[in-house]
């Protein structure tokens, strides 16, 4: 399934994209796409819905972040070896972990606001793993059992703030609007191997 949230900011409604690529309204089934809708049982229930019975959404509404009430926006730095090489930095032995503020979350086509004095704002396409249930001390072999689906993320950074001013990466990573997500959350049944996805990002064409 491709789950979405659409509509004006702060007033998004739940929806899904059917097999013909059309947007269907899910608000008669669930009130929103929240963590409660990402359990295996809840997703299985949604998967049984005959999508042709759901109302079609007319026009081209705005897409919001496809998941409401995100608890943690956790990121891994230098997670691609080619990006580390491009940045002239060694691949880390331990993961570089940083948080992006929840105010950085925005819809996939929303405008990005650069911070005052920005000189080195940058962008990176990333694959988000959406955790569908509480996970603590999970073994590597069981990790993907906790994933409900995947989203695209544009990890926007202000490199001067992040790398040249000392301290943590957060100040260059967590600015408002610096985390566009979506347009949809794709459930794991549609992606057999997330390591074999091609991703790209264009800026202004």
pLDDT over 90 at 93, yes or no: no
CA distance 185 to 129: 10
- Identify the pLDDT of residue 50: 95
By the 10 Å C-beta count (0-12 exposed, 13-18 middle, 19+ buried), 204 is classed as exposed
Q: Which helix (H) or strand (E) holds 106?
A: strand 105-106
Which residues, in sequence order, are CB contacts of 167 under 8 Å at separation 6+?
A: none
3-class state of residue 162 by DSSP: helix
CA distance 161 to 170: 9
Closest CA to 54 of 78, 79, 27: 27
159, two tokens: 């490199």
Ranges 54-68, 95-109, 157-171: which has the least confidence: 157-171
Average pLDDT score over residue span 129-149:
94
| C-alpha torsion sign, points 124, 128, 134, 136 | negative
CATH 3.90.850.10 fits domain 74-181:
yes
pLDDT over 90 at 92, yes or no: no
Helices and strands counted in the chain (H then E): 4, 12
Percent of the chain with pLDDT over 70: 100
Banded pLDDT at 15 (limits 50, 70, 90): very high
Q: Domain-by-domain residue ranges, the chain?
A: 74-181
pLDDT over 80 at 84, yes or no: no
pLDDT over 80 at 159, yes or no: yes
55, two tokens: 């109302």
Q: Which residue has the higher pLDDT, 184 or 167?
A: 184
Banded pLDDT at 89 (limits 50, 70, 90): confident
CA distance 175 to 103: 7
At which residue do the structure tokens 């992040």 appear? 162
Percent of the chain with pLDDT over 90: 77
CA-angle at 31, arms to 65 and 8, nearest 5°: 45
- Identify the pLDDT of residue 145: 93
């Amino acid at each position: 399934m491709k789950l979405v949230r659409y509509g004006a900011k702060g007033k998004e409604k739940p929806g899904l994209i059917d097999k013909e690529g059309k947007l269907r309204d899910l608000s008669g089934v669930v009130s929103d796409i929240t963590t409660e809708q990402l359990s295996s049982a809840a997703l299985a229930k949604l998967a049984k819905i005959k999508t042709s019975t759901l109302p079609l959404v007319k026009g081209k509404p705005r897409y919001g972040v496809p998941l409401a009430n995100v608890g943690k926006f956790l990121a891994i730095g230098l997670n691609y070896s080619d990006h580390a090489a491009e940045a002239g930095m060694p691949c880390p032995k331990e993961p570089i972990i940083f948080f992006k503020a929840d105010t950085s979350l925005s819809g996939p086509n929303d405008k990005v606001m650069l911070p005052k004095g920005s000189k080195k704002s940058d962008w990176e396409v990333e694959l988000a793993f959406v955790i569908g249930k509480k996970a603590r001390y999970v073994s590597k072999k069981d990790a993907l059992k906790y994933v409900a689906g995947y989203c695209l993320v544009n990890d926007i950074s202000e490199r001067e703030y992040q790398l040249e001013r000392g301290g943590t990466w957060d100040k260059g990573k967590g600015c408002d609007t610096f985390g566009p997500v979506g347009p949809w959350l794709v459930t794991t049944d549609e992606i057999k191997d997330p390591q074999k996805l091609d991703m790209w990002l264009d800026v202004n064409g």
